[in-house]
Amino acid sequence: MTASAAAQAAPRVEDSMAQRMQACTACHGKEGRAARDGYYPRIAGKPAGYLYHQLANFRDGRRHYALMGELLAPLSDAYLQEIAAYFASLDLPYPPPQAPTGSAEERARGQRLVLQGDPSRGIPACASCHGAALTGVAPAVPGLLGLPRDYLNGQLGAWRTGQRKAHAPDCMAQIAQRLAPEDIGSLSHWLAAQPLPANPHPAVEAPSAWPLPCGGVPGATP
């Protein structure tokens, strides 16, 4: 068989974002719906601006996870934006929430922090930034529902210890450093057990006033 004939006989490989993104779904679950191990989060349907910033943070060393850093190191900003737009466009149903964990008292404490915050410690309500329905705010604030408890624990802990960072002013670092370890446990117990609302999509209207300046969030920067 000649070289040209062999080339013609070679099977064609689909060249689409869905095909390319199989490298992501190996960990993040089919179509980015989240893995079962409770560590890798859902990325399908997250706001595109948020996804782009996290990809850039991994690539540029503000978030630390060697596998993500190595995968993203050679990719340009433009391609990261394509990846973010692809996963943001996926409108897929969410699974049921995790069964409640922790004590009723711990979950009640978490609910208070999520919905009311703690003004005495300068901790705003999670809902004041992440939306009244806790499904996020487009284009750059993620939802807090539909995330595994272990992932929530890990990320809040990383913010608190400085292992996870964002563009200055780093509002989440400021908030997490004001949280006690038991606050983090209470927040993750309550959030992981909450069902998604009938409309699980990020809100399109930003809050009239953000409680803190926050880098990377339009309208919330100094």
The CATH number of residue 147's host domain is 1.10.760.10
Residues 5, 13: Cα–Cα separation, whole Å? 17
Residues 174, 121: Cα–Cα separation, whole Å? 11
Q: Say yes or no: 106 and 67 in one domain.
A: no
Q: Is residue 24 marked as binding?
A: yes
Q: Is residue 27 marked as binding?
A: yes
Q: Say yes or no: 184 and 99 in one domain.
A: yes
Last residue of a domain, one of 62, 92, 122: 92
Q: What is the pLDDT of residue 4?
A: 61
pLDDT tens track for 35-86: 666 778 899 999 999 999 999 999 999 999 999 999 999 999 999 999 999 9
pLDDT above 60 (res 7): no
Among 119, 123, 110, CA closest to 152: 110
Q: Is residue 126 marked as binding?
A: yes
Q: Say yes or no: 53 and 138 in one domain.
A: no
Q: Is residue 171 marked as binding?
A: no
Residue 2 in domain: no
Q: Say yes or no: 188 and 211 in one domain.
A: yes
Q: Is residue 28 marked as binding?
A: yes
pLDDT above 90 (res 196): yes
Q: Say yes or no: 84 and 133 in one domain.
A: no
pLDDT band (50, 70, 90) for residue 116: very high
Q: Say yes or no: 71 and 111 in one domain.
A: no
Residues 71, 133: Cα–Cα separation, whole Å? 33
Residues 194, 187: Cα–Cα separation, whole Å? 11
Q: What is the pLDDT of residue 11?
A: 66
Among residues of the chain, what percentage have pLDDT more than 90?
77
Residues 64, 40: Cα–Cα separation, whole Å? 14
Structure tokens at 106: 């711990």
Q: Is residue 167 marked as binding?
A: no
Residues 165, 55: Cα–Cα separation, whole Å? 13
pLDDT band (50, 70, 90) for residue 32: confident
Among 49, 83, 86, CA closest to 68: 83
Mean pLDDT computed over every residue of the chain: 91
Residues 147, 170: Cα–Cα separation, whole Å? 22
Q: Say yes or no: 36 and 135 in one domain.
A: no
pLDDT above 70 (res 5): no
Place of tokens 């349907």: 45
Total count of domains within the chain: 2
pLDDT band (50, 70, 90) for residue 161: very high
Residue 127 sits in which domain range?
A: 93-217
Among residues of the chain, what percentage have pLDDT more than 70?
93
Residues 135, 132: Cα–Cα separation, whole Å? 8
Among 128, 112, 110, CA closest to 172: 128
How many other CB atoms sit within 10 Å of the CB of residue 216?
21
Q: Is residue 130 marked as binding?
A: yes
The pTM (predicted TM-score) of the whole model is 0.88
Q: What is the pLDDT of residue 157?
A: 95
Q: Say yes or no: 122 and 110 in one domain.
A: yes
Q: Say yes or no: 128 and 81 in one domain.
A: no
Residue 169 in domain: yes
> What per-residue string of b and e applies to 102-114 under the rule 16 or more CB within 10 Å gives b?
beeebbebbbebb
Place of tokens 């997250």: 46
Q: Say yes or no: 98 and 158 in one domain.
A: yes
- State how far Cα 219 lies from the chain centre: 20
Residues 58, 180: Cα–Cα separation, whole Å? 26
Q: Say yes or no: 97 and 175 in one domain.
A: yes
Q: Say yes or no: 198 and 163 in one domain.
A: yes
Q: Is residue 1 marked as binding?
A: no
